[in-house]
Amino acid sequence: MNKASLVSRLSKAIGAAYVVHRPEDLVVYERDAFLVGRALPDVVVLPRTTEEVAACVRLARAAGMPIVARGAGTGLNGGSIPIRGGMIVALTRMDRIVEVDAVDRTALVEAGVANAELTSHVAHLGLFFAPDPGSQVASTIGGNIGNNAGGMHCLSYGVTTNHVLACEVVDADGNVFWAGSAATDAPGLDLPGLLCGSEGTIGIVTRAIVRLMRRREAVRTVLAIYRSFDEASRTVSQIVATGILPQAMEMMDEEGVRAVESQYSLGLPADGAAVLLLEVESTASAADRAMNELRAICAAHGAAELRIASNEKERHDLWKARKHFGGALGHLAPSNYVQDGVVPRHQLPAILARIREIGRRHQLRIANVFHAGDGNLHPVILFDPREPGMTEKVVRAGEEILKACVDAGGTVTGEHGVGIEKREYLGWMFDDATLNVMRRLRDRLASRGTMNPDKKLPIGSHEPFSYATAAMLGETST
Amino acid sequence: MAAAVARCVHCGFCLPACPTYQVLGEEMDSPRGRIVLMKEVLEDRLPLDHALPHIDRCLGCLGCVTACPSGVAYGDLLTPFREMANAKREPAAAFRRRLALLTLPYPARLRLAAMIAPIARALRRLTPDWMGDLLALLPPTLPASVPVPGFAPAIGARRARVGLLLGCAQRVLAPEINAATIRVLRRNGVDVVVPREQGCCGALSMHAGDPTARRFARRTMAAFPADVDAVVTNAAGCGSGMREYPLLFAGAPESDAASAFAQRVVDVSVFLDRLGVVAPPSLRAPLRVVYHDACHLSHAQGIREEPRRLLAAIPGVSLRSLDDGELCCGSAGLYNVEQPAIAAALGARKAAALLATRADLVATGNIGCLNQLRLHLARAGAGGRPMPVLHTVEILDHAYEGTMAVGTTLAS
C-alpha cells in the first residue's frame, strides 16, 4: 500500500478532516517538548473513538508503517517523535470524561483528557486526580500513563501506576482489550502495571479507569528561602529523619528562581541561593502541628525567610513558581535540555556539586529544580542551538549528569520516561540478562518495529541522537 | 517577530488556553503549532498559502499570552504576520475580507447593509454561503440611532474631562451603550467630549492585518483634543487596538505620537474604577450577574478585576463565577464571518457555561461579545426568554436610573 492509498483508506475510516498528510500540517507534529530532536511523520490521524484507533492501527500495519501514539506533545524524552517515520496517532480528540463514580472514587476517561481537566471536573465533589506533573494543564492522561508520570505530590501519593485501575488498549494488531479491572486488586498478571510507563511500545491506551483521591480537610504550605543550597538540602535530610512525610517537598536553585520571577514577579529574592516549598495535608490540627515542626526545622537550618500561604490564592501563587518553571525557561535561553535523574536523598548536596562541576567544565549554565523529597532532580541545561557544536556539547553534559546519578546509587529517570533520550543509558543500570527479558516481553506483545520503534530499550547505538543533533545544526533559530 | 519565536520552548502550556485547539484538537491549530508554521514561512521553508488556513483560524484572543510561562508575545507575532500575508492573498479571499472591512468600520455603510440584509436573506439560495454567515450577524432590525451630543457636561462638581470613542459598529448595532456611558460618566462628575471627526479606530483592520488600519489610526489620533484627561472607550477591541498604535507605527514618523496617544487610552471600566464610582442606590431586587471577560480586555489588556469591582459596588448585585471563563466566545472581530463553524461551536459552548451559572443576566465589555452571546443564548434557550446580555456600564446606568428590573423593562 503506498502513502496515497493509505491516506485514502484512513480517510474512509475516520473522515478526511482527521487525516493529516500535507507537509505544512505534518511539520507541527515533528517534535514535542524534547527540544533536541525532531522527525517528520508520514501521516497523523486524529481518531475520536477506540474503534477508529483500532482501524487506523490495522491500516498502518497493512501498509508496514510504524505507529507512534501522541497526547499533547509535552513529553521531555522525545517519546512521541516518530524517528522511524510512520503514523502518529494523536489522541487529543478523545477528550471525554465518560463517567465519574463519586462513591467508589473512580473515573472512566478517554486518553486525550488533560490531567488538570480531570481534577477540575471532579473538584466540586472534593476529589482530585493525584499525579500532577508540571505539564498537567496540557498533558493528557494517556501520556501520563505512557510515561508513568509523577509530579510534585508523588512523594506521598505515588506515581501514575498507583492510580490506574484499568486501561482499554488497542494492541499492535488493532485488537482491543481491557487490562485490569475497576475492582481493586485484579487477579492475573499485572497488565496495567506493565502498560504504565511502556511509552507506547506495546499498545495504545485509549481509555482508562483511574482512581480519584479525596481532598483532606486542611492543607498548609510554606516557602522557605535560603542563602545557601547546602542549608536547604540539610533541611530536607532533617525532615526525612524526623519521620514527617510532607505531601510535597520541592527545591529550586537561583537560576530556577530567576526564570519564574521574570514572568510572575512573585517577589522571590534574586540573591537567595535556594527555595524550598513544603506542603502538608491532613486534619486541620495535625496539619498545623506538622507545619509548626517543619517551620522550626527550616529555621534551625538557616532559612532566611519563611513565607506561609494564608489563603488559597497565596498557596496557588507559591505553587505557580514551581509548576510553571519548565514553561518559563524561555526567559533564560532559546533552548534547554531537561534532565530527570534520581539519587538517594542524602546525596543531594554531593550531586549538586557534581552538576555544577560538569557545568563549569563544559561552560554551560544549568538551572536546578528538585523533587527533594524523593531525590528526583531536574537539572536544566540552558543553551542557544544556533551556536555551532552546542547541541552535542549539551547532550554530552546531560549524559555525564545522569551517569553521576547512577554512580551515586540512583537512576536515569524519575518520571519523564526514557524515550529516545535515555534508551542507551539503561545499560548502566541493567545487564543484558535483564534487558533481554524486557525485549522478549515487548516483542511478544508487539512485533518488533511496529509500536513506537527504537524507544525505551537500548538498540546499541546513539544513532537517533546523532540524527537529532545533525538536524539541529542546520537550524537558524529555535 | 524573531524574538517572539525564539522565546517559545514548546512546553504546550498554551494548548488548553487556545479555543481553536479546544474545538479542533489539532496541533496546527494551536498557538505552539502556529508559531512553528509562521517560523517555517519566515524562514522560507514553507509556502505562505500552506500555512495560512491555520493562521486565519486563530481568533487573536491572546488567551495563549495569558497562559505562556515564557512570555511569548504572540500578538506581536500574529499582527505583522497577518499584514504580510494579506499582501499575498489570492484575490477571491482578499475580496471577501475586504468586503467586511469595507462595511463594518463605516457606520453609514453598516446601516445600509443592515437595511438590505432582509432582501439578501430572502434571496439566500442565490448568495454564497459566506455571505449568509455575514448576514446572520446583522440583527433583523437595527435599533433607532440615538443622537449623541458633541459635549456632555459633568453633573455636580467636575472631577475629570474625557474624550469618548463611540466605536464604529457599536454606534449602529447598540447605540444605547454610548448613551448609557455618557450618563454614567456625567453622573460621576466627568465632562464628556465626543469629537465629531472620529470614525473607526482601526482595531478591526489592524487585527485582521489590513493596512487601512494606519489611516484610521491617524484620523483617530487627530480627532481627540489635547485637553482631555483620557480617551475613554467602552469597546474592548477598540481599547486594545488603540493601545497597540505604537506597534502599528513602529519606526514610522508617528511613532512618538502613537505612544503618547496609547497612554491616554483607557477602558471605561478602568477609568471609573480608578476615579472611584459614586455609589449607586440599592437595587429593588437582588440580581445575580455573571461577568463575561472579553478577550481584548482580559488577555490583551489585563483588565479583569475593574469591571467586576464596578458591578459588585451596586448594592443587590451578586457575581456568579463562570467555568472556562478565560476561553473566547468566538466573536473576535471578523472571525464570525470568516470561520463561522468554529465561531458557532465556541458560542454554543459559552452559552451553555453562562446558562449553567443560573445568573439573571450577563455583563460584558465588548460589542462583539455582546452580539455573539445574545445570538447563542437565544439559540440555547429552548424557546423561552433568553438570558439578557448588557454592557457593564449599562448595568451601572440602570442602577443609577432605578430602571433595573429583570424580565420586564430590560432591553436585551
**B412, B388 contact by CB (below 8 A):** yes
pLDDT at B130: 56
DSSP string covering A229-268? HHHHHHHHHHHHHHT---SEEEEEEHHHHHHHHHHH----
Same-domain status, B239 and B312: no
Question: Which whole number is the average pLDDT over A313-338?
Answer: 86
Same-domain status, A137 and A230: no
Is B81 a domain residue? yes
Select from A71, A90, A109 the last residue of a domain: A90
Residue-wise pLDDT tens digits, B12-45: 999 999 999 999 999 999 999 999 999 999 888 8
pLDDT at A476: 32
Q: Is B57 on the interface with A (CB under 8 A)?
A: no
Asked if A33 and B9 come within 8 Å (Cβ–Cβ), the reply is yes
Asked if B68 and A478 come within 8 Å (Cβ–Cβ), the reply is no
Same-domain status, A207 and A101: yes
The length of chain B in residues reads 412
Is B355 a domain residue? yes
Query: For residue A425, is pLDDT > 50?
Result: yes
Same-domain status, B233 and B306: no
Is B94 a domain residue? no
Q: Which of 352-381 (B) contact A at CB < 8 A?
A: none
Judging contacts by C-beta atoms under 8 Å, the chain B residues touching residue A478 are 5-6, 8
Asked if A22 and B50 come within 8 Å (Cβ–Cβ), the reply is yes
Nearest chain A residue to B44, by CA? A476
**CATH code, B350:** 3.40.50
Same-domain status, A106 and A150: yes
Is B341 a domain residue? yes
pLDDT at B204: 84
Report how far apart, in Å, the C-alpha atoms of A259 and of each of A151, A330, A365 are. 20, 8, 13
Same-domain status, B185 and B122: no
Q: Which of B42, B70, B305, B326 to mutate to test the interface with A (most CBs of A within 10 A)?
A: B70
Query: For residue B411, is pLDDT > 50?
Result: no
Is A453 a domain residue? no
Query: For residue A255, is pLDDT > 90?
Result: no
**A436, A427 contact by CB (below 8 A):** no
Same-domain status, A101 and A155: yes
Asked if B13 and A46 come within 8 Å (Cβ–Cβ), the reply is no
Asked if A324 and B28 come within 8 Å (Cβ–Cβ), the reply is no
Asked if A33 and B12 come within 8 Å (Cβ–Cβ), the reply is yes
Is B145 a domain residue? no
Same-domain status, A245 and A207: no
Spatial CA neighbour of B95 closest among B344, B331, B330, B338: B338
**CATH code, A60:** 3.30.43.10
DSSP state of A310: -
Query: For residue B110, is pLDDT > 80?
Result: no
**Spatial separation of the C-alpha atoms in residues A405 and A412, rounded to whole Å:** 7
User: Chain centroid to CA B44: how far?
Assistant: 34
Is A126 a domain residue? yes
Same-domain status, B82 and B179: no
**CATH code, B7:** 1.10.1060.10
Nearest chain B residue to A121, by CA? B323
Is A366 a domain residue? no
Judging contacts by C-beta atoms under 8 Å, the chain B residues touching residue A40 are none
Asked if A330 and B28 come within 8 Å (Cβ–Cβ), the reply is no
**Spatial separation of the C-alpha atoms in residues A219 and A221, rounded to whole Å:** 7
Residues 6+ apart with CB under 8 A from A464: A37, A78, A83, A420, A454
**Spatial separation of the C-alpha atoms in residues B155 and B390, rounded to whole Å:** 24
Q: Which of A325-329, A473-477, B21-25, B77-81 has the lowest mean pLDDT?
A: A473-477
The count of structural domains within chain B is 4
The model scores a pTM over 0.90: no
Residue B13 is nearest to which of A31, A138, A478, comparing CB atoms?
A138
Query: For residue B316, is pLDDT > 60?
Result: yes
User: How does strand B230-233 pair with strand B160-165?
Assistant: parallel
What domain range is A308 assigned to? 218-327
Asked if A260 and B69 come within 8 Å (Cβ–Cβ), the reply is yes
Residues 6+ apart with CB under 8 A from A33: A73, A74, A75, A76, A135, A326, B9, B10, B11, B12
Same-domain status, A102 and A202: yes
Same-domain status, A75 and A104: no
Share of chain B above pLDDT 90, in %: 64
Same-domain status, A272 and A190: no
Judging contacts by C-beta atoms under 8 Å, the chain B residues touching residue A92 are 21, 25-27
Asked if B37 and A335 come within 8 Å (Cβ–Cβ), the reply is no
**CATH code, A267:** 3.30.70.2190
Is B408 a domain residue? no
Asked if A24 and B28 come within 8 Å (Cβ–Cβ), the reply is yes
Our CA-based measurement puts residue B381 at a distance from the nearest CA of chain A, in whole angstroms, of 24
Same-domain status, B339 and B363: yes
Angle in degrees, 0-180, between the axes of helices B367-380 and B236-243, rounded to the nearest 10: 150
Is A434 a domain residue? no
**CATH code, A194:** 3.30.465.10
What domain range is B48 assigned to? 2-89
**Whether complex ipTM tops 0.85:** yes
* φ, ψ dihedrals at A226, nearest 5°: -120, 150
Select from A327, A349, A367 the last residue of a domain: A327
Same-domain status, B255 and B316: no
Question: Which whole number is the average pLDDT over A107-135?
Answer: 96
Residues 6+ apart with CB under 8 A from B174: B143, B367, B370, B371, B391
| Runs of H (alpha helix) within A123-210 | 141-147, 154-157, 191-195
Same-domain status, B188 and B244: yes
Same-domain status, A74 and A175: no
Same-domain status, B255 and B295: no
Q: Is B230 on the interface with A (CB under 8 A)?
A: no
**B142, B188 contact by CB (below 8 A):** no
- Banded pLDDT at B211 (limits 50, 70, 90): confident
- Banded pLDDT at B407 (limits 50, 70, 90): very low
DSSP state of A348: H
Q: Which of A18, A20, A21, A24 to mutate to test the interface with B (most CBs of B within 10 A)?
A: A24
pLDDT at A324: 82
Same-domain status, B269 and B157: yes
**Spatial separation of the C-alpha atoms in residues A121 and A117, rounded to whole Å:** 6
Same-domain status, B256 and B161: yes
Same-domain status, B115 and B164: no
Is A474 a domain residue? no
Same-domain status, A254 and A201: no
Is B142 a domain residue? no
- Banded pLDDT at A473 (limits 50, 70, 90): very low
**Spatial separation of the C-alpha atoms in residues B401 and B410, rounded to whole Å:** 12
Is B143 a domain residue? no
The count of structural domains within chain A is 3
Pick the residue with more confidence: B291 or B175?
B291
